[in-house]
Structure formats: C-alpha cells, structure tokens
Amino acid sequence: MAAPPCVLEAATPCTLAVTLRTAPRQVGEFCVAGVSVGVRCPLTHSTTKGRGAASEEDCVCRAGYFKGGGSCEPCKAAGTNCIEEGVAIATLPLLPDWWRLPNSTQLQRCFPISNCTGGTDASALCGEGCEGDLFYPSCNPRCPPATLSIQPIALCT
C-alpha cells in the first residue's frame, strides 16, 4: 500500500493559493510527521527507489555507490558491479572471477583455475560443485574427502 502523500502548499498562476493534498513525495524524499513537504534523504549520494517514500529508512545509496560505515561510498573498486540502487556492504555485487569475505570490501581476483561466479551473496560466490575458502580467493571442487586425489589441482576421482 502506498504511503499517503505529504501536504504541499503551492501557489498557482492564478491569484488563489491551492493546497495540493495529492502531491506525492519526489524521488529522493520521504515524509516526516508534521512537515508539509517531503524531506530529502540525508546521506550524500542517497535517494529512494521511487516516489512516495514513507520514512528515512526508505533512503538507499544511488547506483554506483554502496552503504558502508554510515555513508554512501563510491563503488569504484575493480571487480564490483554497483549498477543497482540500494547496495550495501552485505550485498556488494561482484563480477565473475572476483572473491571477498562476507561484509568486506577487500576484493581479490580468484585464482585462474577457480570457478568464482560473482554475485551479491559473499557466501555463494562459487559455481556449482565448488565451495569457497574463507582465507584464499578461490572456489575449489566439493568432493567427499575419500575421493580427493592428491595432485597439483584437486580433482574428484
């Protein structure tokens, strides 16, 4: 259900002043009780995902930024893909062949033989049949321990 619009006082080209009770808040604004117009989202580089935001909690970082440390930080590190609004550290999207720990902005390229798929879930950055390593930027084959052969590249037998 859409939030009720803020009340907006506006003068028309006529000599009459009109109260527009149906004016929705603009993109990047939210409603505060007792205020007659929308209030801008407080963080630099923040906005809302549309018109009619009900509270400050509806404010998110613009595309190209992610929310971290109480501000909207530029998403400029190699391997990131912040083309959507509303990205946070927990959902920082990675391109394929990049790896990170959960809630971390320290990115590393995956080892060439890894199957790093990228995405927004740091606990699921590996392709099917592989699992990540918490200490090394790689996705390794997921094999039962008894079927792992000792070779330069771990292969299931």
pLDDT for residue 74: 94
Q: Model-level pTM? A: 0.66
* Residue 16 pLDDT greater than 60, yes or no: no
Tokens 């079927």 locate to 147
Give 109-156 pLDDT, tens digit per residue. 887 777 788 888 877 777 777 777 666 666 777 665 544 444 444 443
pLDDT digits (tens, 9 = 90+) for 53-92: 889 999 999 999 999 889 999 998 888 989 999 999 888 9
What tokens appear for 31 in the block? 């409603």
Separation CA 60–CA 94 (nearest Å): 19
Whole-angstrom Cα distance, residue 146 to residue 115? 22
What pLDDT score does 48 carry?
A: 93
